[in-house]
Structure 1
Amino acid sequence: MIYKEILGEEFNRLHPKLQERYSISLQHPFHGRGTMLSIISGKSWLKSFLKLAVRWKFLFPEEGSNIPFTIRNTAKQLPNGEQEIYWERTFYFQHVTRQFNAFMTIDAKRRIVKDYLGEPNLFYSDLKFIVTQEGSLQIQSGAQRLLLGKWEIPIPKLFEGKVTVMEGYDDINDVYTIQVRIHNPIIGRLMAYEGGFTSEQL
C-alpha cells in the first residue's frame, strides 16, 4: 500500500472512506463510477496540443457538464520489487470517450509519489500528498520532466503544468468528491474538473 507508506501516521487522519480508497494493493484494487459535474479545458489556441495529447491517453480538448466517468486503480509488482499503481480515468462524452492515465510509485527517501503521466509515459511529476485538517487528501505537483523515449528533459518552472487535486468524502450523499486543477504560470488553465463517485464492489 504505497500511499499508506508515504503518508505514515498521517494516513490515519484521512476520512475512513479515503483510507479505504487509498489502501490499494495487489489484492485490493479500487474501481469507482460517477459523474463529473464540470470539465473545463484550456484556451482555444491550446486545442491542437490537447488533441495531440489524446494519443498518449493524457489531456484532451473536450468540455462539458454531467459527464459520466470511471476510475480504476490496480497494483502490480515491478521487477525491482517496487509496487506500482495504475490509474485509469475514463470520461464518457456524448460522442467520444477520453482517458487520462498514469502510473505511480514512491520515493520513500524524498517522501514523494512519482507520477508518470500518459500511456506510454509522456510526462513525469513529483507529487506531494497532504492530509488536511478535515481529513481530505490534497495532492500538489512538484518538479516535472518531459519523457521522450530514454530522454528525460527537466521542464522549467515557467512551463510546468502545476497540478492541485483535492479528494474528500461527502457523508451526507455518500460519495467521494474530487476537484482537479491543472494550470501554467504563463498561459493559465490547461484543464479543470470536479465531480463525485462511488466505489464499485468487485
Structure 2
Amino acid sequence: MQMSIYKKVLENQFYDLHPMLQRRYEFKRNSIFKATGVMKCVRGGPMWLFPIFWLGKKYKLFFPESGKNIPFEIVNSQIIASDGTEQVHWERVFYFNHKKRFFNARMYLNSEQNLIQDYLGEPAKFYSDLALSITKEGGLRIDSKKQRLVLPFIEIPLPKIFQGLATVTETYMETKAVYYIQVQVKNPIIGTVFSYEGEFKSNDIF
C-alpha cells in the first residue's frame, strides 16, 4: 500500500494528527488537494529587502506585497517522476487585487535521513531540509533546517546569517470546518522576513 512522503516521515505519529489533517496529507496516488481561503495577514520584511522580494516573484518564490484579508488558494498535487521518485508540488497563490503572487515549492522524501527535501521557487532557487512533528492539539508543525542556494550546476550551503528559517503550523478548526495555518520565516539577524496567517477550506478534491 502506497504511503505519502509525509506519512513515511512521521510513521506512527501520523495517526496523532487530527483526522482532517491525516486526510489532507495522505496523498494517495494521483490525488490532488485544493482549497481556498483568506490570509488575515501577509507581511514582508524591512523595506531594504524590497529588491530581493521583487526579484523573487519572477521565480514564484517571494513577493514584495503585504496586506490584510488576502484571498488565498492552495493546490497540492502528487507527482511520480520518470525515475519513480514521489514528489508533492505546492502551489500557493495570494491575490492582491489584480495581482497574483505565488509561493511555490516541490517536496521529496529523503528516506535515509527521514526528512522532507524542499525546493523553493520555479525553477528552484533555495533548498531546505524540513523536520515534521505533531503538536499537542493534533496539528502539524514543520521546521526548516539546513539550507542551500540552488544554482544551475551546484547547490551552495548557506551560513546561518543568510538563512531564512521557516516555522509552519497547520491545524484544523472543527468549529469553523477550516484549516488554519501560520507561517513565519526568520533570519537570525534581520528577524521576520516573511509571514502569513489565515484559514482555508478544502474543495474536496482527493
Q: What TM-score results when the alignment is normalised by the length of structure 2?
A: 0.96
Percent of paired sites with the same residue: 45
Could you tell me which runs of 5 or more consecutive residues in structure 2 were left unpaired when the two chains were aligned: none
* Corresponding residue for residue 120 of structure 1: 123
1:164 Cα offset (Å): 0.2
Q: Separation in 1 of the partners of 2:29 and 2:108?
A: 13
Q: Is the partner of 2:26 in helix, strand or coil?
A: coil
1:29 aligns with 2:32: yes
Q: How does 1:34-45 map to 2 (within 5 A)?
A: 34-45=37-48
1:171 aligns with 2:174: yes
| Conserved 8 A contact 1:25-1:74 | no
Q: Is the partner of 2:9 in helix, strand or coil?
A: helix
* Corresponding residue for residue 195 of structure 1: 198
Q: Separation in 2 of the partners of 1:72 and 1:24?
A: 12
* Corresponding residue for residue 74 of structure 1: 77
What letter is aligned with 1:27? N
Could you tell me which runs of 5 or more consecutive residues in structure 1 were left unpaired when the two chains were aligned: none
Deviation digits for residues 75-96 of structure 1 (CA, Å, limit 9, x no counterpart): 1111222100000000011131
* Corresponding residue for residue 90 of structure 1: 93
| Conserved 8 A contact 2:30-2:79 | no
Q: Separation in 2 of the partners of 1:106 and 1:27?
A: 17
| Conserved 8 A contact 2:59-2:124 | yes
| Conserved 8 A contact 1:77-1:83 | yes
* Corresponding residue for residue 108 of structure 1: 111
Paired residue total: 202
What's the C-alpha RMSD, in Å, of the aligned pairs?
0.8
Q: In structure 2, which of residues 56, 60, 65 is the aligned counterpart of residue 62 of structure 1?
A: 65
Q: What TM-score results when the alignment is normalised by the length of structure 1?
A: 0.98
